[in-house]
Structure 1
Amino acid sequence: MSETVQLSLHEVHALAVRVLSHNGMSDAHAQAIARVITAGQRDECHSHGVYRLLVTTHTLRKGKVSGTAEPIVSDRSPAIVAVDAQFAFSQLAFEVGSKVLAEKARRTGIAALAINNCYHFSALWPEVEMLAEQGLVALAMTPSHAWVAPAGGSRPALGTNPLAFGWPRPGKSPYVFDFATSAAARGEIELHRRSGKEIPLGWGVDATGSPTTDPSAVVNGGAMLTFGGHKGSALSTMVEMLAGPLIGDLTSIDSLALDAGEGGTPCHGELILAFDPAAFGLGDLQGDRARAERLFETITGQGARLPSQRRFEARARSVAHGVTLPRALYSEVLALLR
């Protein structure tokens, strides 16, 4: 028997909807989450693809997250929209709130979407990419659980705290980056642990604060590390403030305390900013776009790669040929239907 399973993107989406619906999620939530999981698998972001069905289902079964709560939209000001996810996953809240966000950004030039009381498990690039495809510049951030030690420390205080940015490029794939402010995403460490592989030095420390290549030592009593030392630590703290207290929501420390050892998805807030390029410039939008393109061409012209370029190449392969899953993971996911 082959060690892998080949699926079309339609089959990935349908599988995700089946698993989530079977475990008590409404169709609206199941569809929104399935779209994000399919996108992750399509772009070969394996730690944010089908594997995440294990995480979301675990959180559902623990009763930590609502699978049916309807997002509540609040119009805070001409430039601010807030969505209360009511302790459900964030994807449906974003889909609902982003429509209002885009409208406000075009009216005022800049707008913010604050999502509160949400469980967030996915990458941020699907969100900023969606806004960039509408011609908007986008910035998104969110805390997580307190898994990460600050620079100079050895005990968890910060989340993995991703930061994502999207820049529209008419006629081309948008410029997008999405990275954790930790040295690696939590899901990457978990995938190394599941496959019995060591992690690189610099990703985390053990319970004594000593550097380690053992992923189990990091997740069981140790701590992850920020990228770039004090610089990553400062950025991570910024994300905590902007997507936590600023919008009236939890820090990563609060989220971990709320979880109470259940191992569920982090619960907190998310902040998304959208900018309309036509409102910020001096009336020469085409010239502004041309300057941006010259920068991108100067980067790629010397052999460097733009962020997300690998993802877009993977996307083309997956659209044409489908995706490949480890059979062991596929079997685990099918077991969630029992």
Structure 2
Amino acid sequence: MSNDLVLSLEEAHALVVAALRASNTDADVAESVARALVAAEADGQAGHGLVRVPSYSSHARNGKVDGHARPSAEVVTPSVLRVDANFGFAYPAFDLALAQLPEMTARTGIAIAAVRHSHHFGQAGAHCERLAEKGLIAFVYGNAPKAIAPWGGKRPLFGTNPIAFAAPVGEGRPPLVIDLAVSTVAKGKIVAAQKAGRSTIPEGWALDPDGNPTTDVEMAMDGTMIPIGGAKGSALALMVEVMSAGLVGSSLSTETSSLFTPDGPAPNLGQTILAIDPGPISGGAFAGRMDALLEGLAGEEGARLPGSRRLSAREHASANGISVNAPLHAEILEIVAGRG
């Protein structure tokens, strides 16, 4: 018998808001966070979904994240926006940046937002998708607490440091979205397995503290994540560290505290959002080139467009709701009741 229960998207949203409101978080902030977490669940990205509610709530209760913080923004140049999340949740800061970048890009052709004093920013591709829906190409880079060792080493120095990209692909069609952590899987998947009461994970996800492959959930939590493509994945993690922590001026992955425990100072993570207007840069050729590119993909038997699974998952969730592990649901209800 399944240990899951089904919630509608509206029920899931209300549950997240209630848990955050019971955890020293303002209503509008809770709404922004809930939209992001429920959207991740709907897109099939449970590692960035409701499994984050217990840690987010404990952070807000203990002051590791400020549930009352409002982000602020400063236009440094016509194409550079610096956003201060003010040690609050990342989602209101992204809401602010994504509201301003399209207008800046319309004037300059390319614009960048640097988000500092930030927190976990969830499903990276969803932020890019919002810009692509407005006709822009977008990249997002963000660092995370240390989880990946440099290639050849055992000690974690880099986060799973996600990279996301999105591009418009024509009128009436959903954007192309590519979203990946530089580890084989996001660490949130191991946390989700832990929350579900599973003791093992698949091979190839993680190494134990001694650098040996492990399938044990607890050993994986204490060890390191395996980078995609071996040395290349480790190099990508370093690149994202530069594009987020270095470029933004935030904490390095080795300097930030865990996103899964309530102890320690504010994470002070950094994220960079790059928005590009493809029309002027391509001399008006972008749309036609994208049509040709997608026609080639469609003509290849068995090929699947990256990110396309999110669309069918989203449609299914809208019609049928989302499955939530019963122990996790019970834990969130305890938070709502003030006992979390």
Q: Could you tell me how far 1:289 is from its partner in structure 2?
A: 3.3
- SS in structure 2 of the partner of residue 253 of structure 1: coil
Instruction: Give the equivalent residue in structure 2 for 1:210.
Output: 212
Q: Is the 8 A contact 1:151 1:225 kept in 2?
A: no
Q: Could you tell me how far 1:284 is from its partner in structure 2?
A: 3.3
- SS in structure 2 of the partner of residue 307 of structure 1: coil
Instruction: Give the equivalent residue in structure 2 for 1:326.
Output: 325
- SS in structure 2 of the partner of residue 82 of structure 1: strand
Instruction: Give the equivalent residue in structure 1 for 2:229.
Output: 228
Query: d(CA) in 2 for partners of 1:326 and 1:290?
Result: 41
Stretch deviating more after TM superposition (108-117 or 324-333): 324-333
Q: Is the 8 A contact 1:183 1:202 kept in 2?
A: yes
1:155-234 counterparts in 2 under 5 A? 155-169=155-169, 170-194=171-195, 195-220=197-222, 222-234=223-235
Stretch deviating more after TM superposition (61-70 or 87-96): 61-70
- SS in structure 2 of the partner of residue 149 of structure 1: coil
Query: d(CA) in 1 for partners of 2:258 and 2:36?
Result: 27
| Structure 1 unaligned residues grouped into runs of 5+ | none
Q: Is the 8 A contact 1:55 1:264 kept in 2?
A: no
Query: d(CA) in 2 for partners of 1:243 and 1:2?
Result: 40
Instruction: Give the equivalent residue in structure 2 for 1:25.
Output: 25
Instruction: Give the equivalent residue in structure 2 for 1:111.
Output: 111
Instruction: Give the equivalent residue in structure 2 for 1:293.
Output: 294
Distance 1:52 1:158, change over 3 A: same
Distance 1:263 1:205, change over 3 A: farther
Q: Is the 8 A contact 2:149 2:155 kept in 1?
A: yes
Provide the aligned length of Structure 1 versus Structure 2: 335
Q: Is the 8 A contact 2:104 2:111 kept in 1?
A: yes
Q: Is the 8 A contact 1:5 1:326 kept in 2?
A: yes
Query: d(CA) in 2 for partners of 1:275 and 1:86?
Result: 26
- SS in structure 1 of the partner of residue 174 of structure 2: coil
Instruction: Give the equivalent residue in structure 2 for 1:272.
Output: 273
Stretch deviating more after TM superposition (205-214 or 163-172): 205-214
Query: d(CA) in 2 for partners of 1:308 and 1:288?
Result: 20
Q: Is the 8 A contact 2:278 2:286 kept in 1?
A: yes
- SS in structure 2 of the partner of residue 54 of structure 1: helix
Q: Could you tell me how far 1:286 is from its partner in structure 2?
A: 3.9
Instruction: Give the equivalent residue in structure 1 for 2:53.
Output: 53
User: TM-score when scaled to structure 1?
Assistant: 0.93
- SS in structure 2 of the partner of residue 173 of structure 1: coil
Q: Could you tell me how far 1:193 is from its partner in structure 2?
A: 3.0
Q: Is the 8 A contact 1:139 1:166 kept in 2?
A: yes
Q: Could you tell me how far 1:259 is from its partner in structure 2?
A: 9.9
- SS in structure 2 of the partner of residue 244 of structure 1: helix
Query: d(CA) in 2 for partners of 1:258 and 1:35?
Result: 19
Query: d(CA) in 1 for partners of 2:176 and 2:287?
Result: 17
- SS in structure 1 of the partner of residue 128 of structure 2: helix
Instruction: Give the equivalent residue in structure 1 for 2:91.
Output: 91
Q: Is the 8 A contact 2:112 2:275 kept in 1?
A: yes
- SS in structure 2 of the partner of residue 86 of structure 1: coil
Q: Is the 8 A contact 1:80 1:101 kept in 2?
A: no
The one-letter code sitting in structure 1 at the alignment partner of 2:103 is: E
Instruction: Give the equivalent residue in structure 2 for 1:304.
Output: 303
Distance 1:266 1:30, change over 3 A: same
* 2:272 aligned with 1:249: no
| Structure 2 unaligned residues grouped into runs of 5+ | none
The one-letter code sitting in structure 2 at the alignment partner of 1:302 is: E
Q: Is the 8 A contact 2:87 2:266 kept in 1?
A: no
The one-letter code sitting in structure 1 at the alignment partner of 2:5 is: V
The one-letter code sitting in structure 1 at the alignment partner of 2:263 is: E
Distance 1:291 1:206, change over 3 A: same
The one-letter code sitting in structure 2 at the alignment partner of 1:192 is: A
Instruction: Give the equivalent residue in structure 1 for 2:78.
Output: 78
Q: Could you tell me how far 1:168 is from its partner in structure 2?
A: 0.9
Q: Is the 8 A contact 1:133 1:168 kept in 2?
A: yes
Stretch deviating more after TM superposition (195-204 or 60-69): 195-204
Identity of aligned residues (%): 37
Query: d(CA) in 2 for partners of 1:38 and 1:92?
Result: 15
The alignment's C-alpha RMSD in Å is: 2.1
User: TM-score when scaled to structure 2?
Assistant: 0.93
Q: Could you tell me how far 1:156 is from its partner in structure 2?
A: 0.6
- SS in structure 2 of the partner of residue 240 of structure 1: helix
- SS in structure 1 of the partner of residue 154 of structure 2: coil
Q: Is the 8 A contact 1:60 1:66 kept in 2?
A: yes
Query: d(CA) in 2 for partners of 1:26 and 1:286?
Result: 42
Query: d(CA) in 2 for partners of 1:75 and 1:244?
Result: 19
Distance 1:26 1:258, change over 3 A: closer
Query: d(CA) in 2 for partners of 1:296 and 1:259?
Result: 39
Q: Is the 8 A contact 1:52 1:121 kept in 2?
A: no
Q: Is the 8 A contact 1:150 1:225 kept in 2?
A: no
Distance 1:49 1:275, change over 3 A: same
Query: d(CA) in 2 for partners of 1:234 and 1:124?
Result: 19
Distance 1:208 1:118, change over 3 A: same
Query: d(CA) in 2 for partners of 1:166 and 1:252?
Result: 25
Query: d(CA) in 2 for partners of 1:216 and 1:87?
Result: 29
